[in-house]
């Protein structure tokens, strides 16, 4: 069935424009109307002859469904009228012709139609839909085609008869309707043909309106409306400095971005044009115009059972024009106007006609706005495009941030966040031109679910055509059909594996550059083929732009931390503690997965302590403590660790595989520890790819001394000699010792079968860190190469879902945009580029940024910046070539064309950016309409555990103890890891009992408790305190003896709101504690240690360890045993060094148990001690890390035998 269609074109606006509008209007935790769309897709906008769409040719694509040439306003390169996609496929509706636009077809079919623009109506975003023209500058001829049919050359015959072609026409550009010498409401006409289109419209029956009052007063039965609200545009598309110089400032000092001085309007009829008395006209917004249009009976009553649907095309042109003058204030105002229109359309869908399809799309990014946190009286400056000058000194280009009134002025202020914080921000621009951009299409209403995660610009027409006429068109020849995307196989379970891929610092613009370079404009990356897409919002607790470590904390814990967090809620010197996750647990999602028995793995192209992987297994006070982070990662014993950073594994004085000395100062050799713990350790690509994954349980791969990549800007790479024999920059690998490290795709391909062997499932986190680091260096070739590598890893993961386990979720997200990368065609045309007579330093590869008073023409100002080519932005002899060498598309487009492009950068910093998250596989549809950074955790948690983290039973606060049942006296409080000596239990009747703590949220609310010892060994239901394992009589306990075995015992409590386990489950508590054998003390200085030999499978004591002991271990000598020590009595120590057999195994331990092979919270790690004579030496220190005073030493010689001789 046919539907209504509303196409909203916020020209030049990408997610960063909407982010700025969101921050200022509703705050970072608020949501715009644009944010609420149920479907989103990354928009790909290339043309027939250009990578970046022009406004006119982009509109041609939307209006005709074909790839147009860049200058087109309805004509092809030969001057012939374009035939629409429907015409090419023989699907035109009755009464229309092949060269009709979708608007013209709708009108020919008798559908109600409306055309709305904040600029003059001949602007391409609307003008192309009703007119053909040789040049977009022929405003006179274009406007006339609202009422006259043009000939095939775009001209109107002298004897042409006017007619009412479209029902509603609203916008600006009154001068285009009036002849020269004729004065209208807003000024004198400019038409040279003597035709008065306003009089013609009146004769045809149009109601003419000029202000908001007249708009509001329209009779709902009106069928023809012409709205004219300014002489030229409703907005003032100039740099802020120009507006200030020319008096476009209100009484409060705010720039006037919409409306012109009322004194300039002739206004012969004395209409109210200035409603607020500030001296400027107040034209209706596009939202006001749309609301008035939809209130007309003609539109409000269409789309029901009897109607066939209407078509509305609406453009907010200010978003583009202000962007092209780098006017942030105007851009934000224009975006809010566009969002108001989206809200009107959304309300119509929800409350008037559900049978309506609403779709939004820009065709490029005007100026490419980016947002960064700033503070102070002014926004200050930024640097971009670092270079080495002729003397080899590091330099860069300084550009002012854009503030509320222009370059380096007062910052913008965001509305309060949910936590009440208020943030200031500035705006950076990549340049004055339009860029390919991070454009995102959104859709609402009937048929919105047809939108896949990627959409070619021709797909906009196809979706609208199908909704309007119930005709499904094929994609143009050679263009991928994004409306029939790759489908993951149907899952067979609701819970499964998770692969989180973090291509750090990437926005859709980074992926666009990678697509162009690797696949060509009509190719598709793996990222493009993921099934679901959502705009990602990444603010922190204390700033708008996510940091790498803070962003990783959000993904790992599901809560917003302070920007400097690496797992703590505040700096440690300010009382910071480990973050409690959204699930209520003091663990990351990966630690919870491991505790649930799932295999876990982390992969990084950089050092493994990089936040994108390290945060999931370590918490430290400072992200710079990479040695501590690396140790914590290994101590967690993940199944797979693949990355770089060998120096963090090795102690000072030890030279590693890659020829660099270790940096650890605690003496630990983590590589040796890993080998002792059963890890297979590899260092090269060849070793990795040779791994027998069927017979490898734990894998540690270290593929570089620091990183696998070389994150320097291009001149630095040349200076460091990182250039190959062909003169190409060496981006990955450090020859000669590390010439070819594995890619992250290769790492993933080896890791997945190892992790997949776990029957309980797995959780893998992978980060391509080079996308961020190269981006912050403004190294375009490095960034593009890194993005391609990240995409290859996505492809490996998608193939795993398709071919191995459909019960797997792949989810991708960056946390910010590194550098604000943008792509533009080479050579760059227009946009204020000076000619030689003005500035001889300018080239066709140079653009302007941050215009102050004039954006275009010979007097254009702003900062000149050269875009990046394949070897950087510096043409200084000796550091790069003297010839600009553009990037070349990696494959031809559908027509066989190859394109050249360059890369522009907004800044060297991370910015809020237009980040898009994508999913594929199990639970892909759980990705929200707009993704807050905390939602990444939510989606992963639901997939791993089958429950939303907020619904996990909270941990109640219980006081649990072991009691003597004869005396009712407390023997020991029981907390996790509590150790109780077996001698304390001998010949005693004991019980375990609990009560609810007074500071618990459940105090006074518990109706009953179920106690479960050791998974069913003993189960008891208690209705009143104390909740005792064997019951009690008013606190007089009943007990048993010998029911607690040596080793680990676990008592679980489920708390219910009503008696007899009825009502709600309020929460659950689990306590695991140890019953340990008495062990003789071993003196160490003034301290005593209890030392024993333990079975690491059960964590049970095999035998006390004393000098001269001979111990039977059966077949455990080959593994699954360890030596562990505890402090006897009340002595305190800081750390212990254990040395087995004079250096065969050396371990440093800072907390009990002091275990030879390490442990995780008392879970002893495996190791191997040979049969026969062994010696273990202990050195005990007063402080952590073997620092402070040496408190004492002890040496124990012992013998291990398979069986003790009788």
The whole-angstrom separation of Cα 127 and Cα 132 is 8
CA-closest candidate to residue 693, choices 682, 703, 684, 706:
682
The whole-angstrom separation of Cα 1187 and Cα 1180 is 10
Q: What is the pLDDT of residue 1206?
A: 30
The whole-angstrom separation of Cα 937 and Cα 945 is 12
Which backbone phi and psi does 69 adopt, to 5 degrees? -80, 155
Rg (Cα) of the chain, in Å, rounded? Answer: 35
User: Higher confidence at residue 80 or residue 984?
Assistant: 80
The side-by-side arrangement of strands in the sheet containing 1172-1183 is 1109-1112, 1187-1201, 1172-1183, 1135-1140, 1145-1149
In the predicted model, what is the mean pLDDT of the chain? 92
Residue 1042 — pLDDT band, cuts 50, 70, 90? Answer: confident
The whole-angstrom distance between residue 1044's C-alpha and the CA centroid of its chain comes to 50
Q: Are 145 and 283 part of one and the same domain?
A: yes
Could you tell me if 719 and 392 are in contact, meaning their C-beta atoms sit under 8 angstroms apart?
A: yes
Q: In 140-272, which ranges are E strands? A: 168-172, 207-209, 225-228
Q: Over 350-380, what HEC string results?
A: HHCCCCEEEEECCCCEECCEEEEECCCCCCC
The whole-angstrom separation of Cα 890 and Cα 515 is 8
User: Higher confidence at residue 397 or residue 511?
Assistant: 511
Q: What is the pLDDT of residues 85-130, one digit of tens each?
A: 999 999 999 889 999 999 999 999 999 999 999 999 999 999 999 9
Q: In 855-952, which ranges are E strands? A: 863-866, 887-888, 900-904, 910-911, 916-921, 930-932
Q: Are 1051 and 1121 part of one and the same domain?
A: no
User: Higher confidence at residue 845 or residue 429?
Assistant: 429
The whole-angstrom separation of Cα 882 and Cα 273 is 57
**Residue 1042 has which token pair?**
């010998």
- What average pLDDT does range 531-543 have in this prediction? 97
The whole-angstrom separation of Cα 714 and Cα 724 is 13
Q: What is the pLDDT of residue 865?
A: 87
Residue pointed to by tokens 């429950």: 947
- What average pLDDT does range 943-951 have in this prediction? 93
What secondary structure does DSSP assign to 583-650, as a single string? TSSSS-HHHHHHHTT-EEEEEEEEETTSHHHHTTT---S-TT-HHHHHHHHHHT--SEEEEE-GGGTS
Q: Are 1001 and 1132 part of one and the same domain?
A: no
Q: What's 636's domain CATH number?
A: 3.40.720.10
Residue 998 CB coordination number (10 Å): 9
- What average pLDDT does range 1106-1130 have in this prediction? 79
Q: Are 1098 and 963 part of one and the same domain?
A: no
Residue 1184 domain flag: yes
3-state SS class at 932: strand
The whole-angstrom separation of Cα 549 and Cα 623 is 7
Could you tell me if 767 and 688 are in contact, meaning their C-beta atoms sit under 8 angstroms apart?
A: no
Does residue 3 register a pLDDT over 80?
yes
Q: Are 812 and 713 part of one and the same domain?
A: yes
CA-closest candidate to residue 170, choices 209, 137, 133:
209
Pairing of strands 1047-1058, 1062-1076: antiparallel
Using alpha carbons, list the distances in angstroms from residue 1008 to 765, 992, 1028.
Answer: 41, 16, 12
**Residue 1080 has which token pair?**
């003789």
Residue 207 domain flag: yes
Residue 832 — pLDDT band, cuts 50, 70, 90? Answer: very low
Residue 889 domain flag: no
3-state SS class at 978: strand
Which backbone phi and psi does 336 adopt, to 5 degrees? -65, -35
Q: What is the pLDDT of residue 954?
A: 59
The whole-angstrom distance between residue 742's C-alpha and the CA centroid of its chain comes to 25
The whole-angstrom separation of Cα 55 and Cα 434 is 9
Q: What's 1099's domain CATH number?
A: 2.60.40
3-state helix, strand, coil split of the chain in percent (to 5) is 25, 30, 50
Residue 999 — pLDDT band, cuts 50, 70, 90? Answer: low
Measured distance between the N- and C-terminal CA atoms of the chain, rounded to whole angstroms: 91
Does residue 837 register a pLDDT over 70?
no
| C-alpha angle 963-968-970 in degrees, rounded to nearest 5 | 40
Q: What is the pLDDT of residues 236-283, one digit of tens each?
A: 999 999 999 999 999 999 999 999 999 999 999 999 999 999 999 999
The whole-angstrom separation of Cα 1110 and Cα 493 is 52
Q: What is the pLDDT of residue 354?
A: 94
Residues 6+ apart with CB under 8 A from 270: none
Could you tell me if 469 and 109 are in contact, meaning their C-beta atoms sit under 8 angstroms apart?
A: yes
The whole-angstrom separation of Cα 940 and Cα 47 is 38
Of 469-473, 506-510, 582-586, 749-753, the one with minimum mean pLDDT is 582-586
Residue 865 domain flag: no
Residue 742 CB coordination number (10 Å): 24
Counted domains in the chain: 4
Which of 1026, 1048, 1075 delimits the end of a domain?
Answer: 1075
The whole-angstrom separation of Cα 611 and Cα 618 is 9
Q: Are 987 and 1085 part of one and the same domain?
A: no
Residue 987 — pLDDT band, cuts 50, 70, 90? Answer: low
- Give this prediction's pTM: 0.83
Q: What is the pLDDT of residues 863-894, one digit of tens each?
A: 888 889 898 876 544 444 457 788 999 999 99
Residue pointed to by tokens 């074909």: 66
Which of 1034, 1060, 1075 delimits the end of a domain?
Answer: 1075
Pairing of strands 497-503, 394-400: unpaired
Q: What is the pLDDT of residue 494?
A: 94
Q: Are 449 and 580 part of one and the same domain?
A: no
Task: Give the bridge partners for 1091, in sequence order.
Answer: 1125
Q: What is the pLDDT of residues 339-370, one digit of tens each?
A: 999 999 999 999 999 999 999 999 999 999 99
Q: Are 1083 and 1071 part of one and the same domain?
A: no
Residues 6+ apart with CB under 8 A from 451: 39, 40, 41, 359, 441, 443, 463
Does residue 1117 register a pLDDT over 80?
no
Q: What is the pLDDT of residue 214?
A: 97
Which of 950, 970, 1003 delimits the end of a domain?
Answer: 950
The whole-angstrom separation of Cα 898 and Cα 889 is 6
Q: What is the pLDDT of residue 880?
A: 45
The whole-angstrom separation of Cα 116 and Cα 108 is 19
Q: What is the pLDDT of residues 44-54, one digit of tens each?
A: 999 999 999 99
The side-by-side arrangement of strands in the sheet containing 1062-1076 is 978-981, 1062-1076, 1047-1058, 1008-1013, 1018-1022
Task: Give the bridge partners for 824, in sequence order.
Answer: 902
Cis peptide before 827 (omega within 30 of 0): yes
Q: Are 916 and 1038 part of one and the same domain?
A: no
Q: What is the pLDDT of residues 305-341, one digit of tens each?
A: 556 899 999 999 999 999 999 999 999 999 999 999 9
Instruction: Residue 1160: give the domain boundaries.
Output: 1079-1201
Q: What is the pLDDT of residues 623-671, one digit of tens each?
A: 999 999 999 999 999 999 999 999 999 999 999 999 999 999 999 999 9
Residue 901 domain flag: no
Residue pointed to by tokens 């309409």: 929
Q: Are 924 and 976 part of one and the same domain?
A: no
Residue 956 — pLDDT band, cuts 50, 70, 90? Answer: low
Q: Are 1089 and 1048 part of one and the same domain?
A: no
Task: Give the bridge partners for 426, in sequence order.
Answer: 372
Could you tell me if 636 and 791 are in contact, meaning their C-beta atoms sit under 8 angstroms apart?
A: no
Which backbone phi and psi does 1104 adopt, to 5 degrees? -60, 150
User: Higher confidence at residue 730 or residue 953?
Assistant: 730
Half-sphere exposure of 461 (CA within 13 A, CB side): 30
Task: Give the bridge partners for 958, in sequence order.
Answer: 996
Pairing of strands 356-360, 424-429: unpaired
Residues 6+ apart with CB under 8 A from 1199: 1109, 1110, 1111, 1172, 1173, 1174
User: Higher confidence at residue 900 or residue 978?
Assistant: 900
The whole-angstrom separation of Cα 868 and Cα 886 is 8
Burial 477-506 (b: 16+ CB within 10 A, else e): eebbebbebeebeebeeeebbbbbbbbbbb
Residue 402 domain flag: no
The whole-angstrom separation of Cα 745 and Cα 757 is 19
Q: Are 165 and 259 part of one and the same domain?
A: yes
Residue 1156 domain flag: yes
Q: Which sign, positive or negative, has the C-alpha torsion 86, 88, 90, 92?
A: positive
Q: What is the pLDDT of residue 248?
A: 96
Q: What is the pLDDT of residue 1096?
A: 86
Q: What is the pLDDT of residue 434?
A: 94
Continuous segment of H or E residues that includes residue 314: strand 311-316
Residue 919 domain flag: yes
Q: Over 252-280, what HEC string results?
A: CCCECCECCEHHHCCCCCCCCCCCCCCCE
């Amino acid at each position: 069935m046919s539907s209504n269609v509303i196409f909203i074109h916020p020209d030049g606006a990408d997610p960063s424009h909407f982010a700025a509008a969101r921050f200022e209007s509703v705050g970072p935790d608020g949501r715009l109307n644009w944010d609420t769309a149920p479907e989103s897709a990354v928009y790909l906008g290339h043309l027939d002859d250009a990578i970046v769409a022009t406004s006119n040719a982009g509109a041609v694509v939307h209006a005709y469904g074909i790839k147009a040439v860049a200058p087109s306003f309805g004509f092809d390169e030969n001057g012939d009228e374009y035939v629409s996609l429907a015409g090419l496929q023989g699907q035109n509706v009755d009464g229309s012709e092949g060269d009709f636009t979708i608007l013209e077809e709708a009108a020919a079919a008798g559908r109600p139609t409306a055309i709305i623009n904040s600029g003059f109506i001949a602007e391409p975003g609307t003008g192309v839909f009703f007119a053909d023209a040789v040049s977009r500058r022929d405003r006179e001829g274009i406007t006339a085609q609202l009422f006259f049919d043009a000939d095939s050359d775009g001209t109107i015959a002298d004897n042409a008869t006017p007619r009412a072609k479209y029902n509603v026409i609203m916008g600006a550009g009154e001068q285009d309707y009036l002849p020269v010498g004729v004065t209208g409401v807003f000024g004198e006409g400019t038409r040279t043909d003597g035709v008065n289109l306003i009089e013609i419209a009146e004769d045809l029956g149009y109601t003419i309106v000029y202000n908001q009052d007249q708009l509001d007063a329209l009779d709902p039965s009106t069928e023809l409306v012409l709205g004219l609200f300014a002489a030229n545009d409703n907005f003032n598309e100039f740099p802020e400095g120009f507006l200030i110089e020319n008096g476009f400032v209100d009484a409060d000092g705010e720039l006037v971005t919409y409306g012109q001085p009322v004194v300039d309007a002739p206004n012969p009829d004395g209409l109210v044009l200035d409603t607020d008395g500030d001296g400027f006209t107040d034209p209706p917004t596009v939202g006001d115009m749309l609301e008035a249009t939809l209130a007309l009976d003609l539109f409000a009553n269409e789309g029901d059972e009897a109607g066939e649907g209407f078509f509305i095309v609406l453009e907010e042109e200010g978003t583009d024009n202000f962007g092209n003058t780098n006017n942030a204030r105007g851009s934000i105002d224009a975006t809010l106007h566009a969002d108001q229109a989206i809200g009107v359309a959304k309300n119509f869908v929800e409350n008037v006609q559900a049978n309506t399809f609403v779709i939004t799309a820009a065709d490029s990014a005007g100026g490419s706005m980016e947002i960064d946190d700033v503070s102070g009286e002014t926004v200050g400056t930024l640097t971009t495009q670092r270079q080495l000058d002729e003397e080899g000194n590091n330099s860069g280009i300084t550009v002012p941030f854009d503030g509320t009134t222009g370059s380096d002025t007062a910052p913008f202020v965001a509305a309060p966040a949910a936590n009440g914080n208020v943030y200031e921000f500035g705006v950076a621009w990549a340049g004055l031109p339009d860029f390919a951009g991070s454009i995102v299409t959104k859709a609402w209403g009937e048929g919105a679910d047809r939108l896949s995660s990627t959409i070619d610009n021709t797909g906009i027409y196809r979706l609208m055509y199908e909704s309007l006429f119930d005709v499904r068109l094929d994609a143009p020849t050679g263009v991928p059909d994004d409306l029939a995307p790759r489908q993951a196989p149907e899952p067979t379970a609701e819970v499964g594996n998770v692969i989180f891929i973090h291509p750090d610092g990437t926005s859709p613009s980074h992926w666009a550059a990678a697509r162009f370079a690797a696949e060509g404009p009509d190719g598709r990356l793996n990222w493009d083929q993921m099934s679901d897409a959502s705009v990602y919002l990444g603010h922190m607790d204390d700033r708008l732009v996510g940091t790498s470590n803070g962003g990783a904390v959000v993904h790992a814990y599901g809560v917003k931390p302070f920007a400097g967090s690496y797992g703590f809620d505040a700096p440690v010197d300010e009382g910071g503690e480990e973050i409690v996750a959204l699930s209520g647990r003091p663990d990351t999602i990966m630690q919870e997965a491991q505790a649930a028995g799932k295999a876990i793995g982390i992969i990084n192209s950089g050092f493994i302590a990089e936040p994108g992987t390290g945060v999931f297994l370590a918490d430290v006070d400072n992200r710079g403590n990479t040695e501590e982070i690396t140790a914590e990662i290994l101590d967690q014993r993940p199944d797979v660790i693949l990355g770089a950073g060998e120096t963090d594994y090795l102690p000072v004085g030890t030279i590693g595989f890659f020829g660099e000395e270790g940096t650890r100062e605690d003496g630990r050799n983590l590589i040796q520890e890993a080998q002792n713990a059963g890890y297979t350790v590899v260092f090269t690509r060849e070793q990795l790819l040779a791994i027998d994954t069927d017979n490898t349980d734990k894998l540690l791969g270290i593929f570089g001394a620091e990183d696998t990549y070389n994150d320097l800007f291009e001149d630095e790479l040349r200076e460091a000699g990182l250039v190959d024999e062909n003169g190409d920059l060496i981006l990955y690998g450090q020859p000669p010792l590390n010439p070819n490290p594995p890619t992250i795709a290769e790492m993933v391909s080896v890791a997945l079968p190892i992790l997949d062997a776990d029957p309980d499932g797995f959780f893998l986190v992978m980060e391509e860190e080079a996308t961020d680091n190269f981006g912050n260096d403004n190294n375009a070739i490095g960034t593009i190469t890194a993005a391609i590598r990240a995409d290859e890893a996505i492809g490996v993961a998608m193939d795993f879902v398709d071919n191995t386990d459909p019960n797997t979720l792949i989810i991708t997200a960056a946390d910010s945009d590194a550098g604000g990368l943008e792509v533009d065609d080479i050579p760059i045309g227009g946009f204020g580029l000076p000619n030689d007579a003005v500035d001889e330093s300018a080239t066709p590869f140079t653009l302007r940024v941050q215009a102050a008073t004039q954006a275009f023409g010979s007097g254009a100002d702003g900062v000149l910046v050269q875009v990046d080519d394949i070897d950087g932005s510096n043409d200084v002899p000796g550091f790069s070539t003297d010839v600009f060498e553009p990037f070349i598309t990696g494959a031809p487009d559908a027509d066989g064309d190859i394109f050249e492009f360059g890369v522009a950068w907004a800044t060297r910093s991370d910015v809020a950016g237009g980040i898009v998250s994508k999913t594929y596989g199990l639970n892909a549809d759980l990705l929200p309409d707009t993704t807050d950074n905390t939602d990444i955790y939510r989606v992963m948690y639901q997939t791993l555990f089958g429950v939303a983290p907020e619904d996990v039973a909270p941990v109640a606060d219980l006081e649990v103890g072991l009691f003597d049942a004869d005396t009712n006296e407390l023997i020991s409080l029981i907390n996790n890891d509590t150790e109780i000596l077996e001698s304390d239990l001998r010949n005693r009747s004991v019980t375990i009992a609990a009560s609810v703590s007074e500071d618990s949220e459940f105090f006074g609310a518990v109706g009953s408790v179920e106690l479960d010892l050791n998974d069913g060994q003993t189960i008891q239901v208690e209705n009143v305190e104390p909740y005792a394992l064997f019951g009690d009589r008013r606190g007089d306990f009943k007990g048993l003896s010998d029911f607690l075995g040596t080793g680990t015992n676990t008592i679980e409590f489920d708390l219910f709101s009503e008696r007899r386990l009825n009502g709600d489950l309020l929460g659950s508590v689990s306590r695991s504690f140890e019953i340990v054998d008495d062990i003789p003390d071993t003196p160490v200085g003034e301290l005593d240690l209890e030392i024993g030999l333990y079975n690491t499978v059960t964590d049970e004591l095999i035998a006390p360890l004393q000098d001269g002991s001979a111990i039977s271990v059966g077949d455990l000598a080959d593994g699954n045993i360890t030596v562990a020590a505890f402090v006897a009595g009340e002595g305190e120590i800081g750390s212990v060094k254990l040395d087995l057999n004079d250096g065969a195994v050396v371990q440093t331990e800072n907390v009990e148990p002091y275990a030879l092979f390490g442990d995780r919270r008392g879970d002893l790690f495996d190791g191997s001690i040979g049969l026969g004579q062994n010696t273990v030496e202990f050195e005990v220190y007063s402080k952590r890390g073997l620092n402070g005073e040496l408190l004492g030493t002890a040496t124990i010689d012992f013998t291990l035998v398979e069986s003790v001789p009788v």
